[in-house]
Amino acid sequence: MLSETPLFKLLETDRITLEPLTVGHAAELFPLLADRQIYRFISDEPPVSVAALAERYRRLETRRSPDGSQQWLNWAIRRRDDRQCVGCLQATIYPGGTADIAFVLGASFWGLGLAKEASVLALHNLFAKLGVPSVFATVDRRNLRSSGLLARLGFVRIQPAFYPHGDVTDSDHVFRLDKRPDRRR
């Protein structure tokens, strides 16, 4: 069962923890996610209230899509030194075992290496603990910061036609990272 896997225990590095996202994170993450600046390159809208964000997190806490075909893995990213939430990271595992990954950080935490550190930790667990063979990410073409991060993580840009998890827009780049036998972190 997913909730019993090592993936959904607290994951940590020297600087951050990834906590399984719960309704309890809504009040803490709302101020970060309400900042319109972080939606410049993503299609979502800021949450309208803490209650609306809590309701979204209540659905995500099921860890499964309504039809049961997808596993939803969502984490709050927290700095260890001051215990402050800085953003969130999500991975969706599809039938067949491939996954998508996405992250959102509060604007004041950009450029500190926190998204990279959180992504490395999540990717390690997707590959090593769940045996995911490939992870995909879609990024707005104008989002050079996220595209650069994905390249530093080893993702390779592919043709949108080869994205297996649905449609992408003309303004998106699609990236793929395959598990390598020697991949540790």
> Which H or E run includes 58?
helix 50-60
pLDDT for the residue 180 = 78
Domain membership of residue 17 (yes or no) is yes
Q: How many domains would you assign to the chain?
A: 1
Q: Measured between alpha carbons, how far is residue 55 from residues 6, 24, 27, 48, 101 in Å?
A: 26, 11, 11, 11, 22
Query: What is the pTM (predicted TM-score) of this model?
Result: 0.91
pLDDT for the residue 182 = 58
pLDDT for the residue 1 = 30
CA distance 101 to 103: 7
Question: Domain range spanning residue 77?
Answer: 2-178
The pLDDT tens digits for 44-77 are 899 999 999 999 999 999 999 999 999 999 999 9
The low-confidence residues of the chain, meaning pLDDT below 70, are 1-8, 181-185
Say which CATH number the domain at 60 has: 3.40.630.30
Helix orientation angle between 114-128 and 144-152, rounded to the nearest 10 degrees: 50
Domain membership of residue 51 (yes or no) is yes
pLDDT for the residue 43 = 84
